[in-house]
Chain A
Amino acid sequence: MPRRSWRPTFALLFVSGVVFAAESERTGLGSEPTAEELGAAGYTVFPDGKGLPAGSGTVSEGRAVYQQFCAACHGKNAEGDEAAALVGGRDSLTSGRPRKTVESYWPYATTLWDYIRRSMPYESPGSLNDDEIYAVVAHLLHLGGVVGEDAVLDQESLPRVEMPNREGFVSDDRPDTD
């Protein structure tokens, strides 16, 4: 079958504004976000610290935030209650009865910041300000023995926190059965 030449047809149609000449042509739909819209969009915090806002918090400030907004569900010392334990469980991962917590399992401290800003406190997510989030993260990491009593967390120091299970993850090598 002789190859049909589509191009002239498309060119013609395109000139008359009916059809796009090529698939890669953009539609031009969508509009430029306003600065306000882009600002509201800036929620993701990455392991290298990208996305973290200004502000800071200390362990002792965080203790107060935690007692007021978190302890009712996660327990006085984050040992777990109605909601999950957030600390403990180190060295349990190979035990056959793993206790996966922020302390024992999470590879990045930035994830804790990102998650609390998105989702906690469970019934009023979005209610903490950035300083309070830095502080409660500092408190939880201190409870888990990851940072010292005098730690101050901000956009510089948080990404540098070394989580105990930082090297605990491998990539997907399935299929693993035959």
Chain B
Amino acid sequence: MSKQRPSRRAFLGLAGAAAASSLHPAARAQTTGEIRDLGDTPSDYGRPSPFEDSKRWSRAPDATASSSNTPLADLEGIVTPSGLHFERHHTGVPAIDPDTHRLTIHGLVDRPLVFTMDDLVRMSSVSRFHFIECSGNSAREWSPAGAPNVQLSHGLASCSEWTGVLLADLLDEVGVKADASWIVAEGADAGLMSRSVPLERALDDVMIAYGQNGEAVRPEQGYPLRLLVPGCEGSISVKWLRRIEVAHMPSMARDETSKYTDLLPDGKARQFTLVMDAKSVITRPSGEQKLDRPGFFEIRGLAWSGRGTISRVEVSTDGGRSWTDAEIEGPRHAKAFTRFRSPWRWDGGRHLLMSRATDDTGYVQPTLAALLEARGRSTIYHNNRIKAWEVRESGEVTNAEA
């Protein structure tokens, strides 16, 4: 993509004359050499370097009931660039004009109210770092070896700085009646996606977000307005939010009965398994990368917990026989990605790399065996097993049976 810029010839003519007259001949000899091109002019919205090709990976690129995964191996720090935030939507991404968008709050309230985007932006705002993880993330990890790279194995999780209004403040405006116990949220997508949230939770840290990483929430993430239930399975953070009904019971929506419930061996299914348990994964070195030669590497990865902050991450390079504490790098926010790193000298041999997170409730990330023991083989969601990567003598990194 070439941009219009001033004629280089014109600039060179002027600059060359000035240089020739003001410099000593010896100094001038040192400055001649390759003549450099001027770079691009400023742009209205910056893009990554053309040499970078980080991309989401889409499960069914042509479908509207689809999802796409974040390339976690490419990321640094704890923030997911908005354009790489994972997607999951059931009926496509709607295009919504914020000027006509409304949020209606009604039901068991003293004063039903309709809010414009302007109303919401005028209210007291909060900005918080939170991960969102689809509870179907890592569904391929129920088999011992799991997915071959971290985008496929863990890429239905991302982390942003979200800005918006606390739902508690909005519920204050409408006045919740004493017999209310749930709220039911509804999106403005074609399928009117809907989920119920316990009122207790709604009054805690739930946000109505219009900002993401310093700009408006992206369309794929619910522009112009989304619910954000920190630490909980992504599907409850209803996007394109248009309505909240304060209610006396959950609506038992399709996506909290048919889907997003966890079938156990006795035929009973756990319901409203909202919280995402502590989890971590090594993003570097990870599957499909190649270590070029033995020597120093920094093992890096991400950890998060829906119950609070990450208090510890351990790393093993011998398949879990021994563990060492990794360092937490950068901020440690509650219910947010937390970056860990651990120095490692690769000796050129075969190694199994693993990470294990502990959160501030004392919960320790489990093995696949422990999850299967507790839940049997019929659950789909909430797989937070310890993931192993195998470093081969060739330097190739693959998924591994731990």
Using CB atoms and an 8 Å cutoff, list the residues of chain A in contact with chain B.
Answer: 24, 26-33, 37-38, 41, 43-48, 50-51, 93-94, 96, 98, 100, 102, 105-108, 110-111, 114-115, 118-119, 122, 125, 168-178
Q: How far is the CA of A93 from the CA of B267 in the complex (A)?
A: 5
B258 contacts A173, CB within 8 Å? no
Q: How far is the CA of A46 from the CA of B65 in the complex (A)?
A: 25
Contacts of B122 in A (CB 8 A): 27, 29
Given A41-B243, A107-B257; 10 other pairs, CB 8 A cutoff = A27-B173, A38-B104, A43-B243, A45-B251, A106-B257, A114-B254, A118-B191, A125-B192, A169-B268, A178-B370
Q: Please give the distance in Å from A112's CB to the nearest CB on chain B.
A: 8
A106 contacts B258, CB within 8 Å? yes
Using CB atoms and an 8 Å cutoff, list the residues of chain B in contact with chain A.
Answer: 65, 90-91, 102, 104-106, 111-115, 119-120, 122-123, 172-174, 184, 186, 190-194, 243, 245, 247-249, 251-254, 257-258, 261, 263-275, 277, 363-364, 366, 370-371, 373-375, 377-378, 382
Contacts of A168 in B (CB 8 A): 267-269
Q: Taking CB as reference atom, which chain A residue is nearest B369?
A: A177
B269 contacts A169, CB within 8 Å? yes
Contacts of A27 in B (CB 8 A): 122-123, 173
Contacts of B245 in A (CB 8 A): 41, 44
Q: How far is the CA of A102 from the CA of B258 in the complex (A)?
A: 8
Q: How far is the CA of A48 from the CA of B377 in the complex (A)?
A: 33
Contacts of B193 in A (CB 8 A): 118
Contacts of A111 in B (CB 8 A): 251-254, 257-258
A26-B172, A119-B90, A119-B192 are known contacts. Are A44 and B270 too (CB-CB below 8 A)? Answer: no
Q: Please give the distance in Å from B338's CB to the nearest CB on chain A.
A: 19
Q: Please give the distance in Å from A146's CB to the nearest CB on chain B.
A: 15
**Contact with B261, one of A46, A48, A108, A169 (Cβ below 8 angstroms):** A169
Contacts of B114 in A (CB 8 A): 30-33, 37
Contacts of B366 in A (CB 8 A): 177
